[in-house]
Amino acid sequence: MVLLSRKATFNSHGQDSSYFLGLQEYEKNPYHQLHNPQGIIQMGLAENQLSFDLLESWLAKNPDAVGCKRDGKSIFRELALFQDYHGLPEFKKALVDFMAEIRGNKVTFDPNHVVLTAGATSANETLMFCLAEQRDAFLLPTPYYPGFDRDLKWRTGVEIVPIHCTSSNRFQITASAIEEAYQRARKQNLRVKGILITNPSNPLGTTMTRAELDLLINFITDKEIHLISDEIYSGTVFSSPGFVSIMEVLKERNLEKTEVWDRVHIVYGLSKDLGLPGFRVGAIYSNDPTVVSAATKMSSFGLVSSQTQYLLSVMLSDKKFRNYYTAKNLKRLQKRQRKMVSGLEKAGIGCLDSNAGLFCWVDMRHLLSSNTFEAEMELWERIVCDVKLNISPGSSCHCSEPGWFRVCFANMSEDTLKLAMQRLKSFVNSTTSSKNKSHRDLKSLTKESHIEKWISRLSFLSFHDREQDER
């Protein structure tokens, strides 16, 4: 072991999170309608599989794009040979046009300010390397995407300090919460370099209000720090209020060509809006030329293949198709989200009102045996192992209130979603009927579970995180 690096041997990747554990449990016993009908249904993965038929139809009608041809002539050699890591100009142009269209063309983007990366994960980590040093900190509103503990911290050494948001105001960011997080970081001798938000929110499925965005801009102006707006779900907003990009607010406040303008950066990708996570297409957009230059150099460690760029440049340049796809996809997302909410209501479960994303933020506090994170982990274990649904507990998202769960709805068929809701309803009914059972009895139901050892480990980590916050 002494021959390996500290990074290789130190367990700081974040795999201990219940979010990743749930994904692992699903892989061991995946549901299949015919081959494994009693398996675990995957509701912990934010994939959009609702509009593959639209993409496949376009591909069938555009064989040249798939076959590396332009005007009927092969460009295979051109794409197969070495490409500059700045990316194909035609793809960057098509990408920024698509980004502007999603935002109602209220803002435009300069393709020269775009850095292509192998997914949004790579984009966020690259920005960490550009903006911060080890032991510097970024503030993140809770609840936040569990993968950020890996994406932002593991290789960079950057720390995350949570901005604690609560259900009392639908988990919206407040001035007092931001200031409290900032001062807590200072007490831990951390230099705060910026704030990172996801808008629309993962896991809440909500768009940020104009007041929240103004608050954030005012704060980074006052503290002279950065703001990263991860807008990877910007094309999944299926009902009002609409999506407002941080770039739109900056322009409305006439902050172009100011220091603040250069300290705001956007992360985007095509894994959610187009449902193409396997294509590994992400992007950084920054108005700071130094950040663009540094990020471009770093991008050589995670490039998007030239074949992928060419195919998507042709697809996104087809304005008629992209308009049709976006409109159709949003209608399907809205319909599926309503089916999820309806199924939850029939099971006696509520959720946060949402208007975007591929998931619901589900309130199961009434199903807890006690108002503790230990009880949340106990409930989560039963849902994964007994109900056979993989969902993500709020504690994996650093939610400050036990009993909330992220449940995804767009990565399965309608029949599978219906079955999942039936399973959940049966579980709630059985739980309610045994409501008077003691906490000891409830624990005995999962005594022999093969993931019980993880619960104590996760409980320890949760306690350790809270202890760190209090220091």
Residues with Cβ within 8 Å of 436's Cβ and at least 6 positions away in sequence, in order, are none
* CB neighbourhood size of 157 (10 A): 15
Residues with Cβ within 8 Å of 290's Cβ and at least 6 positions away in sequence, in order, are none
* CB neighbourhood size of 37 (10 A): 10
Bridge-based pairing of strands 282-286 and 114-117 is antiparallel
Angle between helices 18-28 and 452-470 (to 10 degrees): 160
* CB neighbourhood size of 168 (10 A): 9
User: Active site includes 272?
Assistant: yes
Which residue among the candidates 92, 153, 193, 272 is catalytic per the annotation?
Answer: 272
Which residue among the candidates 19, 26, 144, 145 is catalytic per the annotation?
Answer: 145
The answer to whether 102 touches 243, Cβ cutoff 8 Å, is yes
User: Active site includes 85?
Assistant: no
Instruction: Identify any residues that bridge with 142 across adjacent strands, giving them in sequence order.
Output: none
User: Active site includes 251?
Assistant: no
The answer to whether 184 touches 469, Cβ cutoff 8 Å, is yes
In this structure, what token pair is assigned to residue 194?
Answer: 């910026």
The per-residue DSSP string of 410-454 comes to SSS-HHHHHHHHHHHHHHHHHHHHTTTS-HHHHHHTTTT-TTHHH
* Angle at CA of residue 165, ends 471 and 277, nearest 5°: 105
* Angle at CA of residue 224, ends 223 and 226, nearest 5°: 110
The answer to whether 402 touches 372, Cβ cutoff 8 Å, is yes
Q: What's the full length of the chain, in residues?
A: 471
CA–CA separation, 158 and 228 (whole Å): 14
User: Active site includes 232?
Assistant: yes
CA–CA separation, 405 and 465 (whole Å): 19
CA–CA separation, 187 and 471 (whole Å): 8
Nearest to 139 by CA among 195, 220, 208: 195
Which positions are catalytic?
145, 230, 232, 272
